[in-house]
Structure 1
């Protein structure tokens, strides 16, 4: 397929996906569209009886390398109306994935093995990768590649990075249970709001090495009722934690647990909490990154191969390696002029780089297949 034909076909695909966004775990029509497309190409996509998403294999034998794309959209206010919106670029990622499918179909007779393409739901909820792991989708794979469009502040338009070093994120939600009392007799109660204030202060005393990037802060607090002369007995809270490495996130978590325990004792309250979301930091394989770097050079030229991109944002993709450390992974950073920024309701990017992204990923998959073939013959 010549470049112009690929570009024209991918433009049609992108326009459809962009106009039909669906939020996490509700990607029903998106899944159906992808299934129909793959079947029209003579492939046999595999779906799930109890969730959205799918995967498809191309080539002969058991797949050893794969490419994962995310398929969900965000829910946000656009022009004053709340709606599903592809402001994180997942429409572009799916377009790249279908471009990879088209290119691999042409190469299929010459492939040295099989490739698996994963269309993962619920990335924005940090739940889809775990669901795919639980389903065994990545069990046979040795290499797994991903891709993500990047803002101008990270990558110049038309450049490509062989690794994205996302940070870790955790969202804690919880409740503080104290004792209500008359406002004139505070000694008879246990003030949940004062305990929440102490917890905020405790979070500020979690010391992390200045060489590490990290933050932990309370982002929601609600307590008390309509009457202002009652010592509040209950309060609810949310805490957002961020760290560039998984080890630093473990230190933040331990600090939060210590602070919660100390406040419980000091204020005679109980604090119950859950981890509502846990996004792990990137654990990039040197071998996978080297393969992707070579693919970028082969397709786009050495002058357009950018350094690794380090970003404080999170990405569900990295849960695959976190769950299966033997899986070698990296993500392609697509420098395509994302403006004003990711998750902005009016986010746009330069779509002309999507075919190049598909070519790079296809090249990386072929190189990874050759790598696994060499390993198997040793």
Structure 2
């Protein structure tokens, strides 16, 4: 039988928090109201230390003290997308749920009212969607004292079924390029005088499709935006703007893919005699999962929802800047919980929805992961919590 810890009213608190965050989304680097809301909860419930930043949204809250520091990271930003014909901020990637889960862990640990044998650090990170939020937090030193770091991401129903979970998400590396083809416009009746930026773009797409790398490692590159021409159909456009999306399941293959893409851009520029300027607007790394952290998370899942609901690590071509923490700070032992929640139609879909009961299971899993982390390092919280239950289901 799975033992649970009864905390009166916490379910209602979690749903209230989620409803607010879901109804008040903010895009990358604009999460100031979200920051203030989360800070208020930490203040009301008595976090030991709360750190905010003058130059950006985001915050870090701490409880407990001791030789081991365990971090919980939650991303804060929403996407900007069209919903029912209106462009607006929208939480269609689950970051509202991730924040709720981190706050749920905090509220659980506070209401258990047991002393912690170490420090728990709650990292609320801005701008995951742009891929630069984790790097900014790393520069601020927020994980310099962190020994273990746990993240969480809702998973689509097709990947992790409702009521199940995986102890690690094996994200791939992802990069974005913004480019511009610069040339002179020409007369539609004299196509031989100037290069046509649309034809340059079409040839660029064809050459990108010809890139060949190790077929045993998933990778892709595709054009995701192309803008050229104006209102007059008899003008050949000389200039255009474009975006490229690059994906690779390993960091090594991403390095090779970038090199190939850059060579294609140079070759097309030389072939048509046009200037092609470009820059990387984001560059995420592939997952670096610590085996010890993964095993702890698997045990936490088993204790919370049963061994039959523990799935193997989830391999996905999606990207996550969470993995910068362990790549840039190799001493950090990190993994990301993949939480099954009946999520449909899919991540980033404007009508994304999921089973909110997963917020309860996810909070319990992450709380147990913290307890088990201390236990594995010789500090047993379990004995202090014996006879209590995290949640009654």
So what's the TM-score if we normalise by structure 1? 0.92
**Contact persistence 2:208–2:261 (CA under 8 A):** yes
Equivalent residue, structure 2, for 1:358: 363
**Contact persistence 2:167–2:295 (CA under 8 A):** yes
Matches within 5 A, 1:133-282: 133-182=138-187, 186-282=191-287
Per-residue CA deviations over 1:172-210 (Å, capped at 9, x if unaligned) read 111122345555555543443333222212101110222
- Taking the aligned partners of 1:13 and 1:88, their CA distance within structure 2 comes to 17
Aligned-pair distance for 1:117?
A: 0.7
**Contact persistence 2:7–2:112 (CA under 8 A):** no
Aligned-pair distance for 1:162?
A: 0.3
Distance 1:7 1:234, change over 3 A: same
Per-residue CA deviations over 1:288-322 (Å, capped at 9, x if unaligned) read 10111111112222111112112222222112123
The answer on 1:290 being equivalent to 2:299 is no
> 5+ unaligned residues in a row in structure 1: which ranges?
none
Equivalent residue, structure 1, for 2:15: 11
- Taking the aligned partners of 1:352 and 1:3, their CA distance within structure 2 comes to 15
1:321 match: secondary structure: helix
Per-residue CA deviations over 1:351-377 (Å, capped at 9, x if unaligned) read 112122112111212222344569xxx
**Contact persistence 1:178–1:234 (CA under 8 A):** yes
- Taking the aligned partners of 2:82 and 2:197, their CA distance within structure 1 comes to 33
Equivalent residue, structure 1, for 2:37: 33
The answer on 1:88 being equivalent to 2:93 is yes
Considering only aligned residues, what root-mean-square deviation do their CA atoms show, in Å? 2.1
Aligned-pair distance for 1:128?
A: 1.2
More helix by share: 1
Of 298, 309, 312, 1:304 maps to 309
- After alignment, is 176-185 or 129-138 more displaced? 176-185
Equivalent residue, structure 1, for 2:388: none
The answer on 1:75 being equivalent to 2:86 is no
The answer on 1:130 being equivalent to 2:135 is yes
- After alignment, is 45-54 or 228-237 more displaced? 228-237
Equivalent residue, structure 2, for 1:344: 349
> 5+ unaligned residues in a row in structure 2: which ranges?
380-393
> Size of the alignment, in residue pairs?
374
**Contact persistence 2:35–2:58 (CA under 8 A):** yes
- Taking the aligned partners of 1:81 and 1:346, their CA distance within structure 2 comes to 13
Aligned-pair distance for 1:223?
A: 2.5
- Taking the aligned partners of 1:18 and 1:201, their CA distance within structure 2 comes to 41
Per-residue CA deviations over 1:33-63 (Å, capped at 9, x if unaligned) read 1111111111132111111110111101476
Equivalent residue, structure 2, for 1:60: 65
Aligned-pair distance for 1:271?
A: 1.3
**Contact persistence 1:65–1:115 (CA under 8 A):** yes
Aligned-pair distance for 1:267?
A: 1.8
Per-residue CA deviations over 1:103-148 (Å, capped at 9, x if unaligned) read 2224564422111111111112222111111111111112110011
Aligned-pair distance for 1:5?
A: 2.9
- Taking the aligned partners of 2:337 and 2:201, their CA distance within structure 1 comes to 42
- After alignment, is 129-138 or 243-252 more displaced? 243-252
Distance 1:80 1:196, change over 3 A: closer
Equivalent residue, structure 1, for 2:51: 46
So what's the TM-score if we normalise by structure 2? 0.89
**Contact persistence 1:158–1:304 (CA under 8 A):** yes
